[in-house]
Amino acid sequence: MLQLTGVVEERQMRAQYLDRMDIERERGITIKAQNVRLPWTVTRDDGTTDEIVMHLIDTPGHVDFTYEVSRALEACEGAVLLVDAAQGIEAQTLANLYLALDKDLTIIPVLNKIDLPAADPERYAAEIAHIIGCEPSDVLRVSGKTGEGVGELLDEVVRQIPPPVGDADAPARAMIFDSVYDTYRGVVTYVRVVDGRIMPREKIKMMSTGTQHELLEVGIVSPEPKASAGLGVGEVGYLITGVKDVRQSKVGDTVTTARRGAEQPLTGYREPRPMVYSGLYPLDGSDYPDLREALDKLQLNDAALTYEPETSVALGFGFRCGFLGLLHMEITRERLEREFGLDLISTSPNVVYRVVEEGGEERQVTNPSDWPAGKLREIYEPVVKVTIIAPSEFIGPIMELCQSRRGELGGMDYLSETRVELRYTMPLAEIIFDFFDSLKSRTRGYASLDYEEAGEQSAELVKVDVLLQGEPVDAFSAIVHKDAASAYGNKMTTKLKELIPRQQFEVPVQAAIGSRIIARENIRAIRKDVLAKCYGGDISRKRKLLEKQKEGKKRMKTIGRVDVPQEAFVAALSSDAGGDKPKK
């Protein structure tokens, strides 16, 4: 599309042009939605030509970045449903399709990669037609690699998708749908103009905060930023005010002019709710202010990220961060390390629990250290509706996996003779660890997964503490199901026995639920050979030296501290939480 519309010159062309981040290019996935302005000339039946301007938003596909997709859909009139002609529709594609249908967008179904030897366009066109209720002949066949059918797709976009609706003479109103922080120019705000016109050197007002700024530059993205003379109804572009405070440009806010501005703001976006929480701590405690600043700037670019300060006895000062999923957590941590040069430790991820104490008090628990002591009347955990699409030969292994993770089958449909859609209700805590990995390995990589919130359910959960020398180490605590507590305790004690270096005295590593010990390992003491100089002589001298050593060890055990090196924390937490790397 970028080549055909001429917005990118041939010599500047490269693969994955709109994927700007290194992580996106390395992993081959889209993380940030990117918008680009595309000019296109359409020839009418009478031979005359029309210049059309389209705005394309390239959105992510992974379930963790659904929030990016929902924001993009608010700014669009239509959507291109892109399906791989060799693999068919995936679970998260289906979820995004339903989002677009809810917004009443015009859907253009397209099969891409028809140049692949394994492509089966007829079969998957019938599958798409069955899902969205069109004819198989309505599904366009294109190849992004060879360019076949792309021109026809652009013509079809112009023909089917309606132009934007707005009042050019009304007071200016523009919706902020994204913003980034530029070291040299401050906050760059991306907007879609709904009514009126926004011009450079004009004074604008943010309607949620009431703050006013002078516009230094107004421009379009094509696909590199270009300054323009202003933005009109339906246009998408960027605004630069020179503001350095990242909190003054909130995604979902309405921008209007300071003079004769609009009274009524546009309806913003639904605030995303974090599904997974994890602690982020700098390896070097002095990096704490840098981590705060980095999170501030990253939140501007990623509105789904939430964080608040917290302290840990073992890890020092850090932040409790909320994420939409495990991939979101992994990407955020990697971006903080790459873009801001930080070295971080992340604690095991956990979900939000609602706990009712014996006295009837309710509390939200996002961190195992907040788990109330004493008897609890009721514990509720979040559940999700899981959709899995896979070849029908793998139904058995998938069902076995879901049942082992406390899943309940909600239904099963055949999309075609060889592909099946399974729907399960499962606890979110069972999915956020290695579920995706296990699913992929059991289905040889053919299954795709999507999930959405489905309320909460009562569950028998316990907090497992890890004790060193009888002292709990908060960084290793976890909230697990009663049946899995023993396995978690054994795993952590065995792992820590290998990771913690031997001390001058014996160190017991224990896992406990309350005061009940469920697993134990011992780290043997380093023994110095105090009899090395005693050759021959009276046995009583040897006994005296051994007794003295024994007394010393005993005294050290009562006053000594277990030295847990930073590497042991990193290894125990990362191998526990980071074993699964979901891919798109």
* Residue 474: both structure tokens together: 């908060």
For residue 62, give every residue at least 6 positions away whose Cβ sits within 8 Å of its Cβ, in sequence order, or none: 29, 92, 327, 582, 584
Task: Return the pLDDT at 16.
Answer: 63
- In DSSP terms, 217 is beta-bridged to 240
Cα gap 400→442, rounded to integer Å: 10
Band of residue 578 on the pLDDT scale cut at 50, 70, 90 = very low
Band of residue 579 on the pLDDT scale cut at 50, 70, 90 = very low
* Residue 340: both structure tokens together: 């801001």
CB neighbourhood size of 132 (10 A):
14
* 448-458 residues labelled b (16+ CB within 10 A) or e (exposed): bbbbeeeebee
Cα gap 169→160, rounded to integer Å: 27
Average pLDDT over residues 120-135: 84
**pLDDT tens-digit series, residues 212-258:** 888 888 888 777 778 888 888 888 888 888 776 666 677 777 888 88
91-102 and 66-74 helices cross at what angle (nearest 10)? 30
Nearest to 303 by CA among 261, 273, 280: 273
* Residue 394: both structure tokens together: 């793998």
Band of residue 376 on the pLDDT scale cut at 50, 70, 90 = confident
Above 70 in pLDDT, residue 67?
A: yes
Above 50 in pLDDT, residue 580?
A: no
- In DSSP terms, 451 is beta-bridged to 386
Task: Return the pLDDT at 237.
Answer: 84
* Residue 46: both structure tokens together: 């009478």
Cα gap 7→1, rounded to integer Å: 9
**Phi, psi for residue 54 in degrees, rounded to 5:** -115, 150
Average pLDDT over residues 539-557: 72
Strand, coil or helix: what is 584?
coil
Nearest to 118 by CA among 95, 85, 143: 85
Cα gap 77→323, rounded to integer Å: 29
Ligand-binding site membership of 115 (annotated): yes
Above 50 in pLDDT, residue 577?
A: no
**pLDDT tens-digit series, residues 320-344:** 888 877 778 888 888 888 888 888 8
**Which domains are present in the chain?**
2-160 (3.40.50.300), 173-257 (2.40.30.10), 276-346 (3.30.70.870), 354-459 (3.30.70.240), 462-577 (3.30.70.2570)
* Residue 374: both structure tokens together: 């004493």
Ligand-binding site membership of 58 (annotated): no
- In DSSP terms, 421 is beta-bridged to 389, 413
Band of residue 96 on the pLDDT scale cut at 50, 70, 90 = confident
- Return the residue matching tokens 């990016």: 68
Using a pLDDT cut of 90, give the percent of the chain over it: 0
CB neighbourhood size of 360 (10 A):
8
Length of the chain: 584
Cα gap 459→303, rounded to integer Å: 31
Task: Return the pLDDT at 270.
Answer: 67
Average pLDDT, the chain: 79
Cα gap 543→10, rounded to integer Å: 86
Average pLDDT over residues 105-113: 88
- Return the residue matching tokens 């979900």: 351
Task: Return the pLDDT at 236.
Answer: 83
Q: Identify the helix (H) or strand (E) that includes residue 544.
A: helix 539-559
Q: When comparing pLDDT for 38 and 572, which is higher?
A: 38
| Contact criterion met (CB below 8 Å) for 465 and 511 | yes
Task: Return the pLDDT at 576.
Answer: 44
**pLDDT tens-digit series, residues 19-46:** 656 666 666 677 667 778 888 887 777 7
pTM, whole model, 2 decimals? 0.68
Average pLDDT over residues 493-513: 80
**pLDDT tens-digit series, residues 452-477:** 778 888 888 888 888 887 777 777 78
Instruction: Please report, in angstroms and rounded to a whole number, the separation of the first and last CA atoms in the chain.
Output: 22
- SS3 letters for 379-435? EEEEEEEEEEEEEHHHHHHHHHHHHHCCCEEEEEEECCCCEEEEEEEEEHHHHCCCH
Cα gap 211→255, rounded to integer Å: 10
Strand-strand pairing, 236-240 and 254-257: unpaired
Ligand-binding site membership of 284 (annotated): no
**Phi, psi for residue 100 in degrees, rounded to 5:** -70, -40
- Return the residue matching tokens 């009837």: 360
